[in-house]
Every structure is written in structure tokens, then in C-alpha cells.
Chain A
Amino acid sequence: MTTAPTSRRPASPVSARRRRAYLRLMRNKPGSLAYLTLVAVLFFSGFPLYYSVVVASRDNSALGQIPPPVLPGANLVENIERVFATVPFDAALVNSVIVSVAVTASVVFFSTLAGFAFAKLEFKASKALLVAVVATMMVPVQLGVIPLYMLMIELEWTDTLWAVIAPGLVNAFGVFFMTQYLRGALPGELIEAARADGASTFRIFWQVVLPAARPAAVVLGVLTFLTAWNDYFWPLIVLSSPDRYTVQVALSTLAGGYVTDQSLVLTGTMLATLPLLAVFALLGKYMISGIMQGAVKG
């Protein structure tokens, strides 16, 4: 490794190789090993999801074959019908849509509202309050389920969707995320100008801030929707009638039956995951940018 000053000499094989390596590094080009690794990772990422479709489209006897099936079969429709006959899965889908949409709308709205205040308005103790928001991001509120359950009994909300929606209405990550975004994306002059025109603060929020926040709102919305759709622990505790179940709880009752019917369970899994895959296919790139932005600033 003492070949550093070779550039003046006519290229020896060693220096030519190093030069190529150097150029590759400067252009930061991956070698074939990098591609191979990434393709392998993609395979392992996708295979379990693919395999759930294989199981969902077979009948149970096919799963005992040696070797096990690796291609989809012809029983998908029949299995889907069986899922809907076993648990009220249609009600569960509707419930999950209601919960996820309500939670997403609320989180995006309140986060933008608070983010606007933290990013662009001056008020007492704003710094300390923002620190409080950031600190609450790490608090494991899931551990408060017992008093939360008692609270829901008090409010007579147990076994209703209210009980699932209420704890999700706001979250600290959303406020922090929106604050960071609006700080950079919203020019102060725009607000000054609107004020000079006599606009009230809320009017500024409605007509200036909300449109400016749209890109971040989409990102936050996708992330929140996924989290709400996939929530399991709390809905499992607070919902008790099958027609009130969300998709995740319905799915877990399928899986927890005394006779485990794998085709049935994985068909349910596929049905529960498909809406998310659709969201992901359409808005996945927003999710990626959201995770990456949250990382840099967090």
C-alpha cells in the first residue's frame, strides 16, 4: 500500500487496477456482489408474502405434500368465501377503514395545526413545550393500557370504535414532523404578507399553511394510516364483539381457533395485507421519504 505517488509513472498493472478502483469509488458504483446481496435481500423480503398467497390458494391437504407447494393453486376464491363465513371479515374491514381514516385525518390536522404554531408563531415557552413534545415521542404509552381500559369503562366506550380511535387522535411524532417541515417549507414573508392584508391567524392557517403542508401531510398520512391499520394490542383488549373487531383482531381469532386451518388463516392474512400493499404501491415512495426525513432530523 505504498503506491500512492504512482500517478507520474507509466501505468503498471497494479496502479491501473487501483486507478480503476478509485474511479469506481468516486462514481460510487456498486460491484456485482452488491447487486447479488441486494437481490437476495429482496427475495427474502418478498418471499414470505408470496408464500402466504401460495398457502391461501391451496386446500389444506396440499400443504402436507412433500415437497411443499411453491406455486399458487386454484382454491383462492373458495378460501376467501370460507374466511367471510367464519368471521365477520367484511365488518372488520369496514371497522378498520373507519378507525384508520379517522385517526389519520385527526393526526394530520392536529399535527399541522400544532406544527404551524411551533414553527412560525411566537409564544411563551414555545421552546420548552416543543422539547416536551419530543420527549413524549419515546414514552411507551402502551404500558398505560390498564388505566386506559378503566377510563373506557368510565366513558362507556368499551367495545366501541371510539375506544380504538380516541388514543390515536394525536401523536408526538406527527407534531414534531410537521414542525420540522413547516420551518423549512413555509416562508415567513408569506405569513407577514397575509397578516398585512388583515388575515386572522386561523385564516392564514387555512389558506396558506394547509396548502403549503400538503407534501408532508401525505407522508405523515401514509405512515399514520399504516400504523392505525396494523394496531393490534389495544383493539384486542378493548373490543369484545366479533362485529366490532378490526381486521387485525379478526385475523388473530382466525389464527387462534382450536383447529388451525392454515389455508383459512393465511387467506385472512392476505386479505388483511392487500389494502396495505395497494397503499404501498401507490404511496410507498412518500413513506420512504418520510422515514428518511424523520431520521435525519430525529
Chain B
Amino acid sequence: MSLATRSDTTKRPAATGGGPAPVGPWRHRLYRLDLKASPFLYIAPFFALFAAFGLFPLAFTAWVSMHDWSLLSDEHAFVGAENYTALLTDPYFWNALGNTVSILALSTVPQLLAALLLAHLLTMRLRGRTFFRMGMLLPNVASVVAVAVIFSQLFGRDFGLINWVLESLGAGRIDWQAGRASSHAAIAVMVAWKWTGYNALIYLAAMQAVPRDVYEAAHLDGASRLQQLLRITVPMIRPTIVFTVIVSTIYGLQIFAEPQLFGGAGPNGVTGGASRQFQTLTLYLYEHAFNRGFEFGYASAVAWTMFAVIVLVALLNYLFIRRIRSDS
């Protein structure tokens, strides 16, 4: 980038050598160089570092995925699509994909609906507004590890508070880790707990940008508050909703810490429960890449497949929501 600017500055100091005002043209050139090169210099660190530690590794994953590549051996034989065919015939992979999608749906849908309602409440002229907003964001401050640890305790089979409450209400205890549905629900609660308030704030910001007179008109037409939320607010903040759905989906497809720590001690952490009932895709990737045998080629195929799924889901989300718009 800076090569072009450098060539036209090949200074000619000798020409202006002994003149009375040599500073003038030389400084002018320097000034022009500064104007031209500075912007590129200023954005270069971002692009260079992002390329080196972000984009290049992601792209190189595709290359590794076509090789029999193990950390333990120096030879990396090219195997074409073999890792992918192995992957697609591994029932554990499909199991992990199913678990991921199930946890994703269970966490994202209720979470975003709740966030919409909460944001709707937050638009009102509340006493102690800042207090409510801060309180809502509080869970987001805790790390995924902290969230997973705390909720694993709450969802404990024998001494967990949630089971105690269930029992005193007359319902039976649930062995949350043991079942597929129950473990997915527990993990979804962890995700939703951390992110509902965050998304509510995003919706709140978008709702505040909707002009108030639209609501006044709607009220004169006899629309209830709920109708206003559904008929005015939701359509008007649709771009924000699309944004949160896509971001939550990308995040949800990569869930790792919650199931890993929910599995508890020993090998069950990596497999997501004794019968892999809550192993997610990232856990599956981790298991193959860093937990047994360092199968980098195979794990890269997992990563690249996940990437394809993410792109696909993001695209589908986008199209689906655009479709709703053109229908209404």
C-alpha cells in the first residue's frame, strides 16, 4: 500500500540544494507524504494483526482439513475429502450437531422473547432506571466458566437448590445431567441467564429510536400496549432483531464451557456426559484436536464444517426474516 506513495516522494534534495528556501518544497513533499501514507499506516496494524491471528488461521483450517495431520507426526499426507466423509459417517458428530442445535433453540428463542418484553418495560419512565438496567446486565459480567460452575451447583442432583425447590413443590427430583432433554434445558438456562439482559439493552436502544407519535396515533386507534409492541415496535426494530438472532446463533453454535463444565470431573467433561447426551460441536472438536491424539486434520474438518453451518444458518436467518418483512 505504501509503496505507491513512496515512489513519488523520491526526494530531490540536491536540486534545491543551496537555494535560499530549500525547506519549502521539501516540507511540502513531506506534508503530502504524511497526508497520503498516514491513513494506511493507521489502519495497517488492525488488518495485519487480524490477518495473522484471525483470518489466516481460519482459512488455513480448510487446508489442514484435507490432510492426515497429526501433531504427533511430521508427515501430513493429503487425503482430500476423507476427513469429511469420516466425519459425516460418525454418529457422534451427528449427535453433537443435534445437541448443539437443540441447546441453541432452547436458549435463543425464549431468551430473545424475554429480552423483547423486558426492553418494552424498560422504555417506560421507571423510577430507578439506571438501577434496573445495571441489575439486568449483572449476569453478563460473570464469565462463562463462573456461570457454568454456579449453575452446575444449582442443578445438582442431590444438593442442588433447584431440585430442593422442585421437591418441596411436590414434583420429583430431576437428575439434570443424566437426561438429554433435561441437560439441554439446564445448559440453555445458563446461556439465557447470561445474555437476556444484554439483549434487552440492545432492544431498548433500538426502541428508543422509534418516534413516540407513532404510539400516540396507535393509542388513539385503540391499540393495547401488547398490540403496540407486536404491531409497531417489533416491525420497526426488525434490523436489530435480525442482528441479535444472527449474533446469538453464531455464539450458540460455538457453546463450549457450559457443557464442558456441566459434565463435571473426569472424561465426562469432554464427551458431554457419559452417553454424550450434551456434547456440543465445539466440545467434539476439542475432544479430537486437543484431548485425544491431536487429530488436527480431522478436527479441522469439524471446524470447517461448523463454519459452513454458521454461514448457512446466518444466511437462512437473514432470508427468513426478510421474508417476514415482505409478507407483512
A and B physically associate: yes
Task: Name A residues whose Cβ lies closer than 8 Å to a Cβ of B.
Answer: 1, 4, 22, 25-30, 34-35, 37-38, 41-42, 44-46, 48-49, 51-52, 55, 63-64, 66-68, 110-111, 113-114, 116-118, 121-123, 126, 129, 133, 136, 138-151, 166-167, 169-172, 175, 200-202, 205, 226, 229-230, 232-233, 237, 248, 251-252, 255-260, 262, 265-266, 268-269, 272-273, 276-277, 279-280, 284-285, 287-288, 291-296, 298
Query: Which residues of chain B have C-beta atoms less than 8 A from A257's C-beta?
Result: 265
Contact A148–B159 (Cβ < 8 Å)? no
Q: Knowing that A121-B42, A147-B300, A288-B137 touch, tell me 12 more A-B residue pairs with CB under 8 angstroms.
A: A22-B219, A45-B197, A111-B46, A114-B45, A126-B39, A133-B46, A146-B299, A148-B57, A256-B264, A269-B146, A292-B202, A295-B202
- Alpha-carbon distance A144/B246, docked complex (angstroms): 20
Q: Which of A37, A42, A251, A296 contacts B135 (CB 8 A)?
A: A42
Q: Which of A122, A145, A272 contacts B146 (CB 8 A)?
A: A272
Contact A55–B153 (Cβ < 8 Å)? yes
- B contact residues, total (Cβ < 8 Å): 105
Are A49 and B150 CB-contacts (below 8 A) given A136-B55, A276-B142, A277-B141? yes
- Alpha-carbon distance A22/B221, docked complex (angstroms): 11
CB-CB nearest in chain A for B193: A48
CB-CB nearest in chain A for B307: A143
Query: Which residues of chain A have C-beta atoms less than 8 A from B145's C-beta?
Result: 230, 232, 248, 251-252, 255, 269, 272
Contact B124–A30 (Cβ < 8 Å)? yes
- Alpha-carbon distance A296/B150, docked complex (angstroms): 33
Asked whether any CB of chain A lies closer than 8 Å to the CB of B77, the reply is no
14 residue pairs A–B, Cβ–Cβ below 8 Å? A35-B126, A48-B193, A49-B142, A63-B159, A146-B300, A147-B57, A150-B296, A201-B34, A237-B290, A251-B149, A255-B148, A258-B266, A259-B265, A292-B205
Asked whether any CB of chain A lies closer than 8 Å to the CB of B269, the reply is yes
Task: Say how far B142's CB is from chain A's closest CB, in angstroms.
Answer: 5
Contact B46–A170 (Cβ < 8 Å)? yes
Task: Say how far B192's CB is from chain A's closest CB, in angstroms.
Answer: 10
Chain B positions 288-306 with a Cβ under 8 Å from a chain A Cβ: 289-290, 296, 299-300, 303-304, 306
Query: Which residues of chain B have C-beta atoms less than 8 A from A150's C-beta?
Result: 64, 71, 296
Q: Which of B137, B246, B265, B289 contacts A284 (CB 8 A)?
A: B137
Task: Say how far A54's CB is from chain B's closest CB, in angstroms.
Answer: 9
Task: Say how far B97's CB is from chain A's closest CB, in angstroms.
Answer: 15
Asked whether any CB of chain A lies closer than 8 Å to the CB of B209, the reply is yes
Chain B positions 108-150 with a Cβ under 8 Å from a chain A Cβ: 117-118, 121-126, 130, 132-139, 141-150
Task: Name B residues whose Cβ lies closer than 8 Å to a Cβ of A.
Answer: 34-36, 38-40, 42-43, 45-47, 49-50, 53-61, 64, 71, 117-118, 121-126, 130, 132-139, 141-154, 156, 158-159, 161, 164, 168, 193, 197-198, 201-206, 209, 215-216, 219-220, 222, 225, 240, 243, 246-247, 250, 253-254, 256-257, 260-261, 264-266, 269, 282, 286, 289-290, 296, 299-300, 303-304, 306-307, 310, 314
- Alpha-carbon distance A143/B206, docked complex (angstroms): 31
Q: Which of A67, A126, A200, A262 contacts B164 (CB 8 A)?
A: A67
Query: Which residues of chain A have C-beta atoms less than 8 A from B136's C-beta?
Result: 41-42, 45
Query: Which residues of chain B have C-beta atoms less than 8 A from A28's C-beta?
Result: 123-125
Query: Which of A63, A201, A237, A260: most chain B Cβ within 10 A?
Result: A201
Query: Which residues of chain A have C-beta atoms less than 8 A from B304's C-beta?
Result: 143
CB-CB nearest in chain A for B288: A146
